[in-house]
Amino acid sequence: MDAPNLQNPELYINRELSLLEFNRRVLMQSLDESTPLLERLKFLCIASSNLDEFFEIRVAGLKQQVSYGSQQRGPDNLSPAEQLHLISTTVHELVKEQYRILNEVLIPALEEEGVRFSRRPDWTDRQAGWVRRYFRKELLPVLSPIGLDPAHPFPRVLNKSLNFIVALEGRDAYGRNSGIAIVQAPRSLPRVIRLPASCATAPYDFVFLTSIIHANVDELFPGMKATGCYQFRVTRNSDLFVHDEEVEDLLRALEGELPSRRFSEAVRLEVADNCPEEMVQFLMHQFALEPEDVYQVDGPVNLHRLMAIPDMVERPDLKFPGFTPGLPRRLRHNTDLFDVIRKGDVLLHHPFQSFAPVIDLLRQAARDPAVLAIRQTLYRTGPDSGIVEALIEAARNGKEVTVVIELRARFDEAANIELANELQEAGAHVVYGVVGYKTHAKMMLIVRREGRHLRRYVHLGTGNYHSRTARLYTDMGLMTADTEIGEDVHGIFQQLTALGKATRLRKLLQSPFTLHKSMLAFIEREISHAEAGRPARIIAKMNALVEPQIIEALYRASRAGVKIDLIIRGTCCLRPGVKGVSENIRVRSIIGRFLEHTRIFCFHNDGADEVWCSSADWMDRNFFRRVETCFPIEDRRLRQRVIREGLEYYLADNTQAWVLRSDGSYQRCTPGKARPRSAQLMLLEQLAEK
């Protein structure tokens, strides 16, 4: 039998369509009746937000390729234009399902629980009166309607802002009548407003901002009649372009680019489904869009703004139960973190275990006279960051503090520029990594004098130094005083802050130098074991699998008899279960309460399991265009923990798992007659505080 062509495009799932399948799985969580009702609403909002970013980055990039006449094809052999057509078809289906779930499932279910969204036709006289007064007091002073005529051209519309196109009859004080006006709703306005108890018809009675404006739009145009008012929203290209070879100051270049993001090329138009065709055509013309870029919706054009509802409704029974992250036993009885780490490595599994020890370690270092230097990478930190506060305190206490801030953390650029300025004012050295390579590695290095020697303490993680996402994302972090790991981290920081050749690392793997070829070598080693008749297995957990050389190597491993289990939350371009190619590969995705973010790579290695954790997914950008770290779990007990908690529990999950089929679709696992198992629930039960 001839060996198959492992580069055959039919063996590769399109990256964009795979990402949309991930969003479909997120959306399906809003239908899961085992999930609390307000959390189901959140999943609907998350799916909407995911689509926003998908258009702002992925669709925008494809549209740019088409405009440049690019015919570049990926491993799946689809051109940019072909991908855009398939995306449009898929997203129109997804959006239709989103609004069906909102209108036919969630809103009725919420109303049964006393959470009501009052529509204009159902308002009582008292409610209509309150809405009118609210409009005049809170909205009328801040709304700026623009009648379109030669002196008032179509306004610049902010990315993802709420707007209304209004059809008018009559003439104004100057005899003008263009027939069309635009009303822009400032972002500061809430999108849902709770009705007061004096006129509410339910314990929690809400009205949409759009309904309030629709009901009172005539007041914006005195003496004229509004014959139609239709909401719309435009999504724009939000990827920042900075020419690496021509930039002298990356911070200043990004500061200059940020304002343009709000008014860059349009890539999608969302408009009310009752908007007349001629007005839809008018808007399409204004934004230079095609029919397949238009999405007519039955409800608010920005479902993500409904994310405010759960915080406004005090119903714990409709939300996930709260929990307190746990602590490893060794940290409970010894507050001296340096002493604990010196005696042995510490593994933290978030969010089931607390992120606080990472912040506490940095705070302890900031106040310890024996600590001489601190080095840290920051990608996303969030507001009021304990990490940042500790770094500022350390700098003010005279420590040598060096922070590598990745300015180009998508949608966090402005926050990171502000962070950089704040740290510099405190006396920290701030650098922005290497131009052309995003610094995505998660590293903290503390240098401490102990007697006659200097000792390095290190934290390495799979996720950001962000306290809030550490409660929402699954990640692992390792705290260690291992000498060789400390030297490796020191060497990587030298690369990022100074100039020179990449030094040989003893234990860590690093992108863009050794990670890709090391992963390929580990896969080849499993192939050799399988061909020699020895047990061979690979288990890998990550956010995305895209890189074609890795996929081809996994196909070869499958053909050689290596058993491969992949736990991939989002995009997966590998096609499992293809006869003669990938019959030994199983792919599953876990969608649950927490966002799966951990990257773990386990190679059986003839019984001497090697386990690695990383900040990197198996994607081209992570291997070749980013600075990433991948660190071994060498302590036997911790290695067993990572395999059990990070891999085996997820392979046994039969309630939150979706299995990828060879046609690119996913099927949700069901327990059947087996005992229901949820990896995230098991980890909460075992690791969180009782």
The model carries a pTM of 0.93
Note whether 415 and 564 are same-domain residues: no
For residues 479 and 466, state if they share a domain.
yes
Name residue 194's beta-bridge partners.
Answer: 206
The pLDDT of residue 2: 75
The pLDDT of residue 82 = 97
- Whether residues 76 and 142 share a domain: the answer is yes
User: 24 pLDDT exceeds 70?
Assistant: yes
Residues 145-171, mean pLDDT to the nearest whole number: 86
| Alpha-carbon dihedral sign for residues 261, 262, 263, 264 | positive
The domain total for the chain is 3
- 287-328, pLDDT tens digit by residue? 999 999 999 999 999 999 999 999 999 999 999 999 999 999
502 and 515 inside one domain: no
Burial (CB count within 10 angstroms: exposed 0-12, middle 13-18, buried 19+), residue 539: buried
DSSP 664: S
How confident is the model over 388-406, as a mean pLDDT?
93
Residue of higher predicted confidence among 301 and 177: 301
Nearest to 305, CA basis, from 414, 231, 228: 231
Does residue 519 register a pLDDT over 80? yes
| pLDDT score at 247 | 39
Which pLDDT score, from 0 to 100, does residue 421 have? 84
- Residue 652 belongs to a domain: yes
By CB atoms closer than 10 A (0-12, 13-18, 19+), residue 160 is: buried
pLDDT at 250: 45
pLDDT number for residue 419: 81
Percent share of the chain, pLDDT over 70: 94
In a shared domain, residues 360 and 463: yes
Range of the domain at 515: 511-687
Query: What is the pLDDT at residue 304?
Result: 93
Confidence of residue 254 (pLDDT cuts 50, 70, 90): very low
Amino acid identity, residue 417? Answer: I
Q: Which helix (H) or strand (E) holds 453?
A: strand 453-461
**Residue 71 has what pLDDT?**
84
Q: Are residues 531 and 590 in the same domain?
A: yes
Which pLDDT score, from 0 to 100, does residue 244 have?
40
CATH number, domain of 404, equals 3.30.870.10
Structure tokens, 523: 């896969």
CATH number where 47 lies: 3.30.1840.10
Q: Which of 506, 534, 559 is the last residue of a domain?
A: 506
- Which residues are tagged catalytic? 440
Continuous segment of H or E residues that includes residue 666: strand 666-668
* 500-521: b (≥16 Cβ within 10 Å) or e: eeeeebebbbbbbbbbbeebbe
Q: Stretch 263-285: mean pLDDT, rounded? A: 94
Residues in the chain: 690
> Of the residues 461, 485, 506, which one is the last residue of a structural domain?
506
Q: Are residue 271 and residue 348 in the same domain, yes or no?
A: no
Predicted pLDDT of residue 262:
53
Residue-by-residue DSSP string for 154-202:
PPP--TT-EEEEEEEES--TTS---SEEEEEE-TTS-SEEEPPTTT-SS
Q: Which residues contact 415 (CB under 8 A, 6 or more apart)?
A: 381, 383
DSSP 586-636: EEEEE-SSSEE---EEEE-GGGS-EEEEES--BSHHHHHSEEEEEEE--SH
On whether residue 5 sits in a domain, the answer given is: no
Predicted confidence at residue 512, as pLDDT, reads 96
DSSP tag of 307: G
Residue 491: is its pLDDT beyond 70? yes
Whether residue 286 is predicted with pLDDT greater than 90 in this model: the reply is: yes
324 lies in a domain? no
Give the pair of three-digit tokens for residue 341: 């780490």
Mean pLDDT on 395-423: 81
CB 611 within 8 A of CB 600: yes
Q: Are residues 262 and 400 in the same domain?
A: no
What is the share, in percent, of the chain residues with pLDDT greater than 90? 82
Quickly state the pLDDT bin for 415 (edges 50, 70, 90). Answer: confident
CA torsion through residues 187, 163, 255, 403, sign: positive
Q: In this structure, is residue 2 part of a structural domain?
A: no
**Spatial CB neighbours of 602, under 8 Å, sequence gap ≥ 6:** 538, 539, 540, 609, 610, 611, 612, 642, 643, 647
Is residue 59's pLDDT more than 90?
yes
The CA-atom distances, in angstroms, between 285 and each of 145, 290, 416, 630 are 20, 8, 36, 49
Q: Which one of 482, 506, 530 terminates a domain?
A: 506
Q: Residue 263 falls within a domain, yes or no? A: yes
Query: Domain check: are 626 and 566 in the same one?
Result: yes
Where does the pLDDT of residue 435 fall: very low under 50, low under 70, confident under 90, or very high at 90 and above?
confident
What does pLDDT average to over the chain? Answer: 92
Q: What is the DSSP string of 499-554?
A: -SPPPPPSS-EEETTTHHHHHHHHHHHHHHHHHTT---EEEEEES-B--HHHHHHH
The answer to whether residue 4 sits within a structural domain is: no
Looking at the predicted structure, is the pLDDT value of residue 409 above 70?
no
Using the predicted structure, report yes or no on whether residue 172 has a pLDDT greater than 70.
no
| pLDDT tens readout for residues 576-603 | 999 999 999 999 999 999 999 999 999 9
Residue 76 has pLDDT above 60, yes or no: yes
Question: Considering the domain boundaries, does residue 323 fall inside one?
Answer: no
**Residues whose CB is less than 8 angstroms from the CB of residue 506 and which lie 6 or more positions away in sequence, other chains included:** 484, 485, 487, 488
The answer to whether residues 175 and 241 belong to one domain is: yes
**Over 60: is that where the pLDDT of 259 sits?**
no
Of 115-129, 172-186, 670-684, give the lowest mean pLDDT range. 172-186
pLDDT at residue 661 tops 90:
yes
Domain annotation covers residue 1: no
309 and 333 together in one domain = no
346 falls in which pLDDT band (50, 70, 90)?
very high
**Phi-psi category of 400—alpha, beta or left, where left has phi over 0 and alpha has psi -120 to 50?**
beta
Pick the more confident residue, 326 or 246. 326
Tell me the chain's radius of gyration from C-alpha atoms.
27
pLDDT at 148 over 60: yes
Same domain, residue pair 292 and 345? no
Higher pLDDT, 255 or 26: 26
SS3 328: coil
